[in-house]
Amino acid sequence: MSVISHTAVHLALRNRLLTVSGLPARANENKDYTPVAGTAYVREKLAPATQQGVGISTDSPSEYTGLYVVTYFGVEDTGLAVSTSADAILAVFTKGLTLTATDGSVVRVRSDVAPWRGEVITNDGWAACTISIPYRILTS
Amino acid sequence: MSDFSASIHNFVTKVQVANQRVFLGVATEALRSIVEGSELTGAPGQPVDTGNLRASWQLTFPSPTSAQISTNVEYAPIIEDNLRGAKFRNHGPNSVKLTRAGLPRIVETVAAREAK
């Protein structure tokens, strides 16, 4: 298998996100979602980045990399709640974690550049924090 | 100085020069990745509306061994994380994040280029 299904990869990462306890409403990629003022929600997106051959033959394995980007939108002026929720999401994507996608791809959360979260940014009544999960897939 | 000492001295100088070239090359590639986008990292580059954000990114060297890529545009984090759910007409969000994740590949590529 030298070609992967990014849809399958996305679903594997999304399913992992869904294991977070107390996850609020979810805005899925390319799906209309109208935020409700005062109600927290998360937005998720797959950002496939690179594909690189790891051998000299045309049928050599490929290495795919990308980012799974989750943004937690909490309510502005609610203190550390947003930060705590972002930490809970980050905690389920430990470095080295492997997830098997429905197409058989093994999605590995990178260890060389481990998942991280940014600062909380307030904007338009929301307090948002983005969690970035770098992943790698090596085809067989 | 003996021939051996001279050879060692030359080798050390050569490594120091190569090291400096890799350092500068990595910093420059990282800036390109954030601003223009990069095939090495998959970063899309800064979306352009007025051009203000794109023009604001700067590469500076606080010390001989550190590089800093920064912008003083206040709304830069909102664009990076697309917090307003914008539909971009060109380029896109996440360039800083993708550059950070792709930094090992930038280093590998620049080092290989300098080794030739």
List residues bridging with B69 in a β-sheet.
B59
Report the amino acid identity of residue B51. Answer: G
CB contact under 8 A, A118 and B81: yes
Residues 6+ apart with CB under 8 A from B61: B27, B67, B68
pLDDT tens-digit series, residues B64-94: 999 999 999 999 999 999 999 998 999 999 9
Q: Residue A32's pLDDT is what?
A: 87
User: What would the mean pLDDT of A62-83 be, rounded to a whole number?
Assistant: 96
Which residue among A113, A118, A123 sits closest to B101, beta carbon to beta carbon?
A: A113
Chain B residues in contact with A132 by the CB 8 A cut-off are 97, 100-101
Q: Residue A48's pLDDT is what?
A: 96
Mutate to test the interface with A, among B83, B100, B107 (most CBs of A within 10 A): B83
Residue B73 neighbours by CB distance under 10 Å: 16
Runs of H (alpha helix) within A18-117:
81-91
Give the burial class of B112: count Cβ atoms within 10 A of its Cβ; 0-12 exposed, 13-18 middle, 19 or more buried.
exposed
List the structure tokens of B55: 């023009």
Write the DSSP symbol of residue B63.
E
Residue A3 — very low, low, confident or very high, per pLDDT cuts 50/70/90? confident
Mean pLDDT of chain A: 94
Residue A1 — very low, low, confident or very high, per pLDDT cuts 50/70/90? low
Residue B20 — very low, low, confident or very high, per pLDDT cuts 50/70/90? very high
Q: Nearest-CA distance from B37 to chain A in Å?
A: 11
Q: What is the spatial distance between Cα B14 and Cα B8, in angstroms, rounded to a whole number?
A: 10
Residue B68 neighbours by CB distance under 10 Å: 11
Q: Which of residues 60-89 of B touch A (CB under 8 A)?
A: 77-78, 81, 83-85
Residue B1 — very low, low, confident or very high, per pLDDT cuts 50/70/90? low
Q: What is the spatial distance between Cα A65 and Cα A17, in angstroms, rounded to a whole number?
A: 19
